[in-house]
Chains A and B, each alone.
Chain A
């Protein structure tokens, strides 16, 4: 299992990646959509954890790009903002939505849930 972390807060995303790897989850991290796109070109990911609000290209837009490149890739959103837009986006796939600051165990649970679903639904 390999996951991709994208968040414009480098300190946050780097630490999160380290914590996940301590728990046996291989996580690559980048701080913008452009770098994420480059990584996806060379590497396969089962799941992407995306910050909803990022400069230039936001999480939801990036999700579409990633899905094009790697159909079937699962996404979990992170947000530090409580705007209605974010809420609506999260509500559509409630289980893949987490508000910062996050609990690492919650995140791992969601990752597992998403991947389980992927395995069962064949990437629906």
Chain B
């Protein structure tokens, strides 16, 4: 689990560019790669999510709005039918009366009074009834006022009844100062003339009908006339005959709805209907915010869904981008390390070949000098004349010794180069150590560095890779030399361990390695000597080489006191599979 989580740690952000050195610098910008991956993936995931949410948001909003509108519309239609029914009932009652009674019976005050009494019993709220002849004169009247003989011929309502057979008035106060309306119908007489039956109805019953409507806390219902004057008291504030603030809606034969914005009370949905054959317009206003409450809840849910969706997408996208860029980064690091190793090994191999070439070229003239000086010495030894001349023989011996020294150096160089590319073979540890130390002998002499080699005699020859061991020792000794000042001590010791392993220590009394650097010294490209030509690869390659030959390396160091590398090597190579490794010189 921990290993898995490690893959999501953005190492590339702190790892710098893909490598050091001019060849590898700015090969990849991992931060930019990561940013692009996150951006493109997030866009391709979030844009469709936004589009779907936007679409759903609008569809849901429209559906809720349309539902609200249709509910308002239904309420208006039902209420319109109730009002129409209320008026139609009373009109039908009048129709029944004119058909059930003759004109003569109706103008009989006693009969008319009986009819009014019956009407009041049946419907209530009917205050008077009168019969008006074709001339407009009220010939019979029962009610609280003395309106008999009043002439209505000049009045508008009289003309409308004559024209249309029925008339329903707007609400008015009249002499009683009580809001009421008038219904009048005309009836033809057998002689071709006609008369009108007219009655006044109180609007209290209509009020009751309106107050039973379910309109919500801020909802309102009005009945207005075509001038916008209230015909019955509305729920909030307005009194009868007050003009309402809402503009009068245009005429429509069916029920309609519209949006209305009130600067003080906000948005309203208004449903209205013109009540047929009356001067009334029924209006129901409902507060939009109240109606859209369910929508607001849905809207919050949609927004939460969107936010959670975006959050999940972003976490996923960032996680996966980090995982993949990390893997690319790690793979690149490995590749570059290998490239560096190849480069380093090639360099070492080239040096080896160059040294071998030089040694060979020097060897031939050296062999001639050797033979010539040998011959001089031979001549001296075989001649009586010079045999006793010690100075001459001494000079020849000096030449001979110098040639032998040169010969030793060239042999060592040739031997070193020869073993550069050899894999597993029996090796003699002490010889390899001494071979490598041989190269540093002169430097040690100049810098007065004291080298001690203590290899236990019981270490047998063992199977290992001589070339790799040479590289390992060369790297370690070079590092020690770099860390030491004049008069330093380099101690190389090897002993046999109980478990068939060889333990080798390389200890110096150089400047040491600070604690914080100690963990990183085997990492590639870590170097404190970059300014003085260090590649930061020596110890990293040393580490890889030792692993390849089945060994292990550890380091301990105290700044100012010195550094000790401990290498353990297996005596038997049978368990080591040589990895295909790119350090073979090309």
Contacts and interface: CB of A to CB of B under 8 A. Distances in A.
Contact of A83 (B356, B363, B371): B356
Nearest to A88: B418
A23 to B, nearest CB: 8
B362 to A, nearest CB: 9
Contacts of A11: 368, 371-372
Contact of B356 (A16, A19, A82): A82
B374 A19 contact: yes
B389 to A, nearest CB: 18
Contact of A12 (B367, B417, B422): B367
B332 to A, nearest CB: 36
B367 A82 contact: no
Interface residues of A, number: 21
Contacts of A12: 364, 367-368, 371
Contact of A101 (B360, B379, B407): B407
Interface string B551-572: 0000000000000000000000
Main secondary structure of the interface of B (DSSP, over half): helix
B378 A100 contact: no
Given A19-B371, A22-B378, A101 B403 contact: yes
A123 interface: no
A71 interface: no
A101 B366 contact: yes
Nearest to A101: B370
A94 to B, nearest CB: 14
Interface in A80-112: 80-84, 87, 99-104
A82 B413 contact: yes
B415 interface: yes
A87 to B, nearest CB: 6
B416 to A, nearest CB: 8
B411 interface: yes
A82 B382 contact: no
B356 A22 contact: no
A80 B367 contact: yes
A43 interface: no
B351 interface: no
A102 B378 contact: no
A82 B378 contact: no
B417 A82 contact: yes
A78 to B, nearest CB: 8
Interface in A17-33: 18-19, 22-23
A15 B356 contact: no
B110 interface: no
Contacts of B379: 22
A114 B414 CA distance: 26
B392 interface: no
A38 to B, nearest CB: 24
A22 B374 CA distance: 11
Interface in B387-444: 403-404, 406-407, 411, 413-415, 417-418, 421-422
A35 interface: no
B455 to A, nearest CB: 24
B374 A100 contact: no
Interface of A: 9, 11-12, 15-16, 18-19, 22-23, 80-84, 87, 99-104
14 contacts: A9-B364, A9-B367, A12-B371, A15-B374, A15-B375, A16-B371, A19-B374, A19-B378, A80-B360, A82-B356, A82-B417, A84-B418, A84-B422, A101-B363
The 7 closest A-B pairs by CB, nearest first: A82-B414, A101-B370, A80-B363, A15-B371, A100-B367, A101-B367, A101-B407
Given A22-B379, A82-B415, A99-B414, 16 more contacts: A12-B364, A15-B368, A15-B371, A18-B378, A80-B360, A81-B360, A82-B413, A83-B418, A84-B418, A100-B363, A100-B366, A100-B367, A100-B370, A101-B363, A101-B366, A101-B371
